[in-house]
Amino acid sequence: MHQKDIERFAFLFLCGKRDRAILTGKEKMTFSDLNRLIYLTDYLGLNSYGLEIWSEYGGRFKEQFKQLKEIYDETDGIVSWDPVEEDDERQEQWIREFLRQVPDRDSRKRLEKFIAL
């Protein structure tokens, strides 16, 4: 079994129903879902699986990435805004939500100790 297969199995075991449905192709992935799932796999150290998700779904959002780049290029230097603070709050919310959705209670408790927000 390859590393990405082990990581996929672990993530699908731990994630909630909706994320499992997205990652198994039963529900459509949104740009926001891609961003969140890539962050979560990276945060959990599941880098091989995160790359697999990126490879499979990233190309579907070329237009959104292009639009974000255009917005950034247009506002760079004009808007005084630190996205890090907003990103930190949103990412902590993603982690808390992920933990709440771990279906197995024992696994959830172990993961909460591992993550310790």
CA–CA distance, 99 with 104 (Å, rounded to integer): 10
* pLDDT, averaged across the chain: 88
Residue 77 region by backbone torsions, left for phi larger than 0, else alpha for psi between -120 and 50, else beta: left
pTM of the full structure: 0.81
CA–CA distance, 64 with 31 (Å, rounded to integer): 8
All structural domains of the chain with their residue ranges: 3-115
Question: Token pair for residue 103?
Answer: 């279906």
Q: What are phi and psi of 80, to 5 degrees?
A: -90, 100
pLDDT at site 81: 57
- 20-71 pLDDT, tens digit each: 999 999 999 999 999 999 999 999 999 999 999 999 998 888 888 788 788 8
